Amino acid sequence: MQRNEKQEMVDALHAKLSKADFAVAVAYKDIDAEATVKLRKTFRDGKVDYKVVKNTLAKLAAKGTHAEKLSDKFTGPSAIIIGYGDVVAPAKLLQDILKDQGEKMTIKGGIVQGNLVDAAGLKALASMPGLHELRGMIAGMINSPASSLVRLLNTPGSQIAQVIKAHAEKAA
């Protein structure tokens, strides 16, 4: 690889790492070509970048970003997984892939929104609800009182009178 090609690769990786909210260094071994293609497709479908990198180039690219804390993790065969925005979705995707790969892929360390985390921290993050799930929960909580009011207003007047009478007798 020529020097200018290496510099272009470092610049591209640096740009990705500076935008990233989620970056994980993983070790891999004995993954065949077919499994690697499937792995890349899975990450691509999940809108997560997966890149096998040379350790020295990864260290250079990480300088000046949150991922600089990962520099000491780039030893041996390394790949980097980069996610943007939602940090839970890439963590869940990574946990699913780790289950499929078994001992062939292991987590060296990760950065989540600027904080260094280990494999246990990433596993805990993967067990949390994702951004879309949280939005759905909040929408449900907001919608709940309104839907209760609508159901109450749609009940016939006699049922409302019976409910009011029951409350009055209970209070007395």
More confident residue, 85 or 130: 85
In this predicted structure, what is the pLDDT of residue 80?
A: 92
More confident residue, 141 or 114: 114
CATH 3.30.70.1730 residue ranges of the chain are 3-128
Phi, psi of 130 (to 5 degrees): -75, 175
The per-residue pLDDT for range 16-52, each reduced to its tens digit, is 988 988 999 999 888 888 888 888 899 899 899 999 8
In this predicted structure, what is the pLDDT of residue 166?
A: 86
In this predicted structure, what is the pLDDT of residue 155?
A: 66
**Token digits of residue 14:** 């640096």
Residue 1 has pLDDT above 80, yes or no: no
Report whether 43 contacts 49 (CB < 8 A): yes
Nearest to 58 by CA among 78, 36, 40: 78
DSSP code at position 47: T
- C-alpha triplet 115, 91, 109: angle, nearest 5°: 45
With tokens 């470092």, the residue in question is 10
In this predicted structure, what is the pLDDT of residue 82?
A: 92
Q: What is the dihedral of CA 55, 75, 92, 122, to 10 degrees?
A: -120
The per-residue pLDDT for range 94-117, each reduced to its tens digit, is 898 888 888 888 889 999 888 888
Phi, psi of 19 (to 5 degrees): -90, -15
Superfamily of domain 3-128: Ribosomal protein L10, N-terminal RNA-binding domain (3.30.70.1730)
- Environment class of 31 (CB within 10 Å of its CB; exposed 0-12, middle 13-18, buried 19+): middle
More confident residue, 33 or 134: 33
Average pLDDT over residues 111-130: 85
- pTM of the full structure: 0.72
DSSP code at position 87: S
